[in-house]
Structure 1
């Protein structure tokens, strides 16, 4: 299953406002979205499922570990470059600005030791996330034409699925 076209690209969070009154408009948070997978700079990566206005992120790796709850929100797009996400539990609202609409290519990789990885690339950027489910995860982001595994990615990776 793939996400609708308006989701695909590189997004920067403009701010988050929580129901407890706290907010954050200064922390840099990036969301890399391909047709099937996401990498979030806060430390998680995995599959994305969209049903109507509801978007759910299903991380397979995360560090620090995410709680047991569902990570889902209702999405309201404002043109092609902005989206407002409201948590399905009403606990937060986030504003996102699209930095790059694509084209985007992504691969999901596996290694014999059980490690998983995602490589998502755009015209001028790439995001790489790898780790063991339930263990530590590592993330890197690069600007420029760098559609290869970054230094320190290790070896033994095989592509298990691709958006292409």
Structure 2
């Protein structure tokens, strides 16, 4: 029996209530949203200690702002059913990929909670089921000009959008990379990875939380057709519309 046959997660918005690791204090304060479509997911993680950053653009951020933002996490891609566990394949990742897949076994704890146990790491997470909807929309996207990957998922009136960087980053911890580059401009580019969540109200897709705090309150407002156009913001805060090509998620490599 596969995970999908035991535990149904499609069309669900989860909020994490617990992360427990051996020899560490349980984490019950990090704000984590996992939005799961049919195949695609987005995950945004913001520590409670994250300071308020008021810089209106990346161009206005100093090194302290960038280091603070690097304490966040987020990723998006396909959820892969491996039979006895699932893997969260990351086609967008705020931090460099680790040495092992992000994999966990899922089980029902009670009517409103899933429990996840790590496969390659020793941890336990509790996930509260906040909302479930059969109304699911999802797109795996690629920028035809840069090759950048993105994921867009909507479940009911909640959406999540993840956009990768336009540059490849190294394998070292993100904070080390920020401190190690030669210019502030390069450091800013390392943080230019957007994972946002929000709500659809009266046909407006309004961002309510993001790895890029100046995006909060912006309208994503995707236009979906032969290509998908999404409202974006340039480094200097200039409004922009970015066009994306849709990619078949069933054809993407699992490596």
TM-score by length of 2: 0.57
How many angstroms does 1:37 deviate by? 1.2
What residue in structure 1 maps to residue 158 of structure 2? 125
| Cα distance, 1:134–1:68 mapped onto 2, change above 3 Å | farther
Q: C-alpha separation between the residues in 2 aligned to 1:148 and 1:162? A: 22
How many angstroms does 1:83 deviate by? 0.6
| Structure 1: gaps (5+ residues) | none
The total of aligned residue pairs comes to: 161
Q: Which has a greater percent of strand?
A: 1
1:49-89: CA deviation from partner (whole Å, max 9, x where unpaired): 11334011110121122312111011111355311000013
1:114-155: CA deviation from partner (whole Å, max 9, x where unpaired): 111111112221111111484452111112342833531742
Tell me which structure has the larger Cα radius of gyration.
2
| Structure 2: gaps (5+ residues) | 45-72, 170-191, 206-219, 223-229, 234-240, 251-255
SS at match of 2:30: coil
Q: Which has a greater percent of helix?
A: 2
1:152 aligns with 2:250: no
TM-score by length of 1: 0.86
SS at match of 2:8: helix
Deviates more, 1:144-153 or 1:63-72: 144-153
Residues 120, 126 of structure 1: 8 Å contact kept: yes
Deviates more, 1:114-123 or 1:143-152: 143-152
What residue in structure 1 maps to residue 9 of structure 2? 7
> CA RMSD of the aligned region, Å?
2.4
| Cα distance, 1:50–1:75 mapped onto 2, change above 3 Å | same
1:43 aligns with 2:74: yes
What residue in structure 1 maps to residue 28 of structure 2? 25
| Cα distance, 1:134–1:100 mapped onto 2, change above 3 Å | farther
Alignment of 1:78-89 (within 5 A): 78-89=109-120
